[in-house]
Structure 1
Amino acid sequence: MRPILLQGHERPLTQIRFNKEGDLLFSCSKDHTINVWFSDNGERLGTYDGHNGTIWTVDVDSKSEILISGSADNTMRLWEVRTGKCLYTWEFPTAVKRVAWSEDDKQLVCITEQRMGYQGAVRIFTINRENPTQQSEEPDAMFHPIASKATVCAFASPSLIVTGHESGKVALYDWQTGEEVAVNERAHSMVVTDLQLSPDRTYFITSSKDKVARVHDSRTLDVLKTFATETPLNSAALSSQKPYVLIGGGQEAMSVTTTSLRQGKFETRFWHLVFEEEIGRVKGHFGPINTLAVLPSGKGFASGGEDGFVRMHHYDESYFRAKPYGDLEVDL
């Protein structure tokens, strides 16, 4: 499985996302630019220029028409995917750390950082798709998560937002009222670094600096599966078609200069979703893996690292034939 190396960023990657069809890959990094690539051959299609700070987060709607991004320049921007034109800009008091679309593409949620006397906030906007350059400056709803600041978020359902927090807790909020509907205070013991939903949004996976990734039920927040490693984790993704979980991380970036590749554990690790056992590793990055994304078709995945590279992997035929647990078939 030879990866395609995508060289278009000068600084560490922060997030990568595939569109719903899986033919486009969007990547953002600390170098102030968003790139879009063809996933099948790694050709760069274009860039989205306009932010003046680290771009922490990016998400694309299900029709691949509108892109949303959040940055350390305290803005959230709406982009036209096809032309790269910035359609609208929201300004906030602090950096935007996470953005996500709702399932029907009508709304988006964003998290702004707790800093300089401002509380961390979760805001929900309804997007005017008929005239994208005319958006409401004020959110439909805004609430401040209780006790610990939120670091990641997603729409668990049309009315519920699931959040991961700095304290390690995972919570479910009714965004219209701001009420905390459910909470798991001990989901993790350290900051939650990533949260990715299953295709049907009935469960989700989180990764954390406590070296553990966990799968949770979207309604009850019960922990369904646990994957424990020996390095801090920055990202976790659920494979489609196969019952696998992908996790990535590695020793902290500041310690990398004193660490060999083998000790640093800069690998994408595959675990079996049901049996919670590791079944393989993919090497390649020269620093911690910051973000992972799986092709919707289940035929490959991409990883973005501290080294500034995106590695696009397409699975060999042997991956689909492999049966690590005999003829046991798992219905996803």
Structure 2
Amino acid sequence: KPLMLQGHERAITQIKYNREGDLLFSAAKDAKPNVWWSLNGERLGTFNGHGGVVWCLDVDWQTINLITGGGDSSCRLWDLETGKNIATIKTNSSVRTCNFSYSAYQAAYTTDKAMGHPCEVFVIDTRTVDDSISSQAPILKWEITDSKVTSMVWGILDETLITGHEAGDIIQWDLR
């Protein structure tokens, strides 16, 4: 049975289920990610805090935390039980992709090439999710010199990141 979920005012940019499949998360150009019951389409909540388009989101495997990235040059971590913004990582340009690793001990996000800043990939430690993440240096960081990253996924055993690029390239990065 199809469900029509009405809760965004602008175009949807990403949707994602949690591991169990009972929750559906949606991001849009309206700056307010939402979470829904997938069974009946009831909206459970809205994550308020971004100041512009939300390009990406991901939920960890235990459905404890949500990560979002947006056009307001920020990557945000959220507590799913309370809906509160736990940490905000300020970036130099829009955050285009974000993903938790399968272990949820790490997360990665990418920024766009814009305003004189290069496209970059960041890997952060998410074992302790609190406001200290906002000021911590990333575990890994590197510049993308060719075309910008448009999609990203973690590889097997959290040892690699696979990025898809605007020019059609797919690159596997060894994180070991």
* Unaligned runs of at least 5 residues, structure 1: 177-332
1:70-100 per-residue CA deviation (whole Å, 9 max, x = no partner) reads 0000000000011110000000010000001
Deviations 1:220-259 (A, max 9, x none): xxxxxxxxxxxxxxxxxxxxxxxxxxxxxxxxxxxxxxxx
Identity of aligned residues (%): 39
Q: Which amino acid aligns with 1:133?
A: D
- SS at the partner of 1:4? coil
Give the C-alpha shift of residue 6 in structure 1: 0.4
What secondary structure is seen at the aligned counterpart in 1 of 2:144? Answer: coil
TM-score with structure 2 setting the length: 0.95
Give the CA deviation at 1:151: 1.3
Aligned to 1:46: 45
* 2:29 alignment partner in structure 1: 30
In structure 2, what is the equivalent of residue 77 of structure 1?
Answer: 76
1:181-204: CA deviations, max 9, x gaps?
xxxxxxxxxxxxxxxxxxxxxxxx
Structure 1 counterpart of 2:131, from 115, 119, 133: 133
Counterpart-to-counterpart distance in 2, 1:85 and 1:156? 29
- TM-fit CA distance, 1:17: 0.6
Aligned amino acid, residue 169 of structure 2:
K
1:175 offset after TM fit, Å? 3.1
How do residues 23-172 of structure 1 correspond to structure 2 at under 5 angstroms?
Answer: 23-129=22-128, 131-135=129-133, 136-157=135-156, 158-172=158-172
Residues 214-229 of structure 1: pairs in structure 2 closer than 5 A:
none
Query: Match of 2:173?
Result: 173
Match of 1:15 in 2: 14
Aligned residues: 174
Mapped contact 1:128–1:134 kept (Cα < 8 A): no
Opposite residue 25 of structure 1, the aligned amino acid is L
TM-score (norm 1): 0.51
- Name the CA distance, whole Å, in 2 between partners of 1:71 and 1:153: 15
CA distance in 2, matches of 1:150, 1:105: 22
- Give the 3-state SS of the residue equivalent to 1:134 in structure 2: helix
Question: In structure 2, how many angstroms separate the alpha carbons of the residues matched to 1:147 and 1:5?
Answer: 39
Larger radius of gyration: 1
Provide the aligned C-alpha RMSD in A: 1.2
